[in-house]
Chains A and B, each alone.
Chain A
């Protein structure tokens, strides 16, 4: 079983719909992240959470919200989806570490298409 699991893997929906992408991890990591990947733009950070009561905006948080339901779960919501939110979304986790130098471990991604 994957250590970082994203559901769904693929989703096609219509403009204006509310969408939730879920991420769960079995790695026991404190830190979780949501990124989106667009061609030619690499990965951009949407939100991140260093523990259950900690939520922080990333580079491109507008139009998104998150919920850290438990240490192992971090969900991303699009309140009213729009076509330019079509992208590949990744969840990642990392251990706290002594020097904040831990690698991030990624899920397999969710391909979201908004028509």
Chain B
């Protein structure tokens, strides 16, 4: 069975601090895909990144970076120099090759305090 765990329910940081959101997944598949989505207070879900299981290169996009470690089944998300606009709920998700079903974690609510 597939499972995604986001153990951090809520995180608060002061603006300009760095913050890491953890994501641990379970799957027996050898090929799978991992995603991060952002849900701002307005409610919509915004796609941030996709990572294939056979590509363990870390990725950086501006203040965002992702650390994928297959050995620990983790796909962590770091925001550098956080801003108030980063306040949102962040979801990690896993997708299997056999179908495009997504398995979502329960989300981490990030509050950035000015």
Q: Is B71 an interface residue (CB 8 A)?
A: no
A31 touches B47 (CB 8 A): no
Closest to B105 in A: A42
Q: Which of A45, A97, A106 contacts B101 (CB 8 A)?
A: A45
Q: Is A12 an interface residue (CB 8 A)?
A: no
A48 touches B47 (CB 8 A): no
Give the A-B pair count, Cβ closer than 8 A.
58
B44 touches A106 (CB 8 A): yes
Closest to A30 in B: B100
Q: How many residues of B contact A (CB 8 A)?
A: 24
Provide the residues of chain A in CB contact with B102, threshold 8 Å.
33, 43, 45, 104
B107 touches A42 (CB 8 A): yes
Provide the residues of chain B in CB contact with A44, threshold 8 Å.
104
Q: A40-B9, A42-B106 are in contact. Are A100 and B47 (CB under 8 A)?
A: no
B43 touches A31 (CB 8 A): no
Q: Is A94 an interface residue (CB 8 A)?
A: yes
Q: Is A84 an interface residue (CB 8 A)?
A: no
Closest to B98 in A: A100
Assembly CA distance A108 to B46 (angstroms): 10
Provide the residues of chain B in CB contact with A105, threshold 8 Å.
47
Assembly CA distance A6 to B40 (angstroms): 18
Task: List 13 A-B residue pairs with CB atoms under 8 Å apart, sorted by A's residue number.
Answer: A31-B100, A41-B106, A42-B91, A43-B102, A100-B33, A101-B97, A103-B50, A104-B102, A106-B44, A107-B44, A108-B44, A109-B43, A109-B44
Having A50-B99, A107-B44, A108-B43, one finds 19 other A-B pairs with CB under 8 Å, namely: A31-B100, A33-B102, A40-B106, A42-B106, A42-B107, A43-B91, A43-B104, A44-B104, A92-B45, A94-B100, A99-B52, A99-B97, A100-B99, A101-B33, A101-B52, A103-B47, A105-B47, A106-B44, A109-B45
